[in-house]
A and B are shown apart, each in its own frame.
Chain A
Amino acid sequence: MSTASGNFDGGRLTEIIEEREMTRAGLAKSLQVSRQAVSQYEKGQRWPSGNVMFRMARILEVPLHFFLGGEVPEVSGPVFFRSMAAATKSARVCAKRRYAWAKKVVKCVREFVEFPRVNFPRFKVPHDPIKLTDEEIERIALETRRFWGLGEGPISNVVWLLENNGAIIVRQDLPVKTLDAFSEWSKEDDTPYFVLGAGRGSAVRSRLDAAHELGHMILHRHIKNLQNSDVFRKMEEQAYYFAGAFLLPARSFERDIMIPTLRSLVLAKAKWKVSIGAMIKRMGHLCLLSPAREQRMFANYSRRGWRTNEPLDDEIEMEEPRFIRRSFDLLIKNGVIGADDLESRLGLYIDDIEKVTGLIGYFRQSERNVKFPRMIRFDKDSRRTSVRKNK
């Protein structure tokens, strides 16, 4: 057994296998070892040779020292996945791993940068989510607006609103299409985290996702685990209801949609930046439409092909989080930390750091003009070469 593999941490192997969504069998084949050997590496029952470890780092595209200990970042609280039912378990695990990395990046940045104070309201909500009524959700959504000094009009930018009030938001490529967004109230730093999907879906859908996750943070912050699927389904419904009530307050929305037709909803979409489908649902919740009329409207909606692409979907701009990017801008501008330093501190290549923070290509662009004292990286060149060869 080589010296290099003496500190091998099996937990980190599990972490990276799950993040890369690789099968153990596939990895074993690439490493030219048995499936059992991989399992034993993970459990710490056996250490890989230096050679195997080197190949492991190359195949999994991580620095060699990734495997040499360091904490395996875990997510402590319950994570509320939007579209949980549709996403596979492996996709959720992968998303959780990426999210844990994002938190690691945030933790690192927090050492140098002052983060905005968390300013989220706390309401008395029934401990059992089943007991929470729609009327209470309606009231809480309105009070949340008031808490943040908002009236009842359309919110210009939901992502900025959440960030201004201390939420950490990243927009990253989520592993599967069926996973839209997720959130967690992190116990480690007592901060709400929102992960929003990037690269697909419309801006209005993403705003609804953000408001939906806000619903979880406000209504279900006290929930310890999400084992019961019936309760979880109920919580999802409640978060959806909250999102509707938060983005489209009953009084002002009702006044605005005096004549509920698809034409008037297109106009309302430009104003409220909420999808037409969600507005039809909201009108149903508010009894502005009878169930039969709602059904008819949805039928017309589908006939126009709006289920796949609604009018204005391409016009309304995606809301981008700013704080992490601005923090990096600050750190790079002041020469506090650079890509190499981050790689070394986090045990991840910069590609992964960019991926989990949603800042694809950021460091290559930012550091073009800023020179940092480069750190010695014994594994970088070998990895890059190997990746190129693999391609």
Chain B
Amino acid sequence: MMSNAIQFSPYKPVEMFDAFVDKSLQLTIVEGVVREYQNAKMWCETEFRFPESADVLAHYRRACIESLLCELAKQHPEFRITTRVNARRNCSHRLVCCGRVILTQSLVEHEGLLPREAVYREGYARDPQLYLFVEKDLPQEDVSLYGIITHMPLSGKENGVPAFVDIVFPDEEYKVILGRIPLLDRFPRVMGAIAATAQETIPDTLQAKLRAREEKA
């Protein structure tokens, strides 16, 4: 972890992120998201029948991942968590701070897209990042880099596995992505580990057979 003496550059958000968020913490995030995808699907299918299970899944998964962020903060002192309410005050979200990086999570419709506009996201992109994009002497302690953990299910049917888990960095106007970290590409073993804990299916092949007659005699 680097100290606050790090010089922010508006053009290298990935490097900045790596400097503040250790690789092991990044791994923890991606493992957690993948796990919550699985757990959410399993839970919804246990609790509800189709199609209600599919209807509720996205909501439940969001809650699972938000809770995950909260739990991560409990386990890793590097993370600090704040709960914020949206502008309409009808929904809340967790804001994770790690050094000079702030993170939220969102589902997106395609890889490489920013989540839909929201007052709070635009706010995080603008206010703490503002000085990042101004070529002047910067009051470094007030500057934070805003990253969004974006993810999307593999497909409509395969909705228990994420197609990707990325961290994207919006510009201060929340229009374009300045940098992107594809976490599943960075930590490919995460998906391998998921496969390793796939269920060991025991086949029902046991059949009773009559003994041959001579044996019976």
Contacts and interface: CB of A to CB of B under 8 A. Distances in A.
B75 A259 contact: yes
A118 interface: no
B197 to A, nearest CB: 5
A164 B216 contact: no
A68 to B, nearest CB: 27
Interface size class of B (residues with CB under 8 A): 20 to 34
Interface stretch (B100-108, B132-140, B199-207): B199-207
Interface string A97-122: 00000000000000111101000000
Interface size class of A (residues with CB under 8 A): 35 or more
10 contacts: A114-B209, A114-B210, A152-B196, A156-B199, A252-B193, A258-B28, A258-B32, A259-B72, A270-B43, A329-B208
Given A152-B197, A258-B31, A315-B46, A164 B211 contact: no
B87 interface: no
Interface string A123-161: 000000000000000000000010000111111111011
B120 to A, nearest CB: 25
B206 A155 contact: no
Interface in B113-171: none
Contact of A113 (B46, B201, B203, B211): B211
A388 interface: no
Nearest to B40: A267
B22 to A, nearest CB: 16
Contacts of A334: 210
Interface string B176-216: 00000000000000000100111111111111111100001
Interface of A: 111-114, 116, 145, 150-158, 160-161, 163-164, 252, 255-256, 258-259, 261, 263-264, 266-267, 270-271, 312, 315, 322-323, 326-327, 329-331, 334, 336
B208 A330 contact: yes
Interface string B27-50: 010011001001100110010000
A113 B202 contact: no
B42 A271 contact: yes
Given A252-B197, A261-B71, A267-B42, 9 more contacts: A111-B211, A113-B211, A114-B210, A155-B202, A160-B203, A266-B43, A315-B46, A330-B210, A331-B210
B68 interface: yes
Given A111-B216, A258-B28, A261-B71, A151 B211 contact: no
B208 A161 contact: no
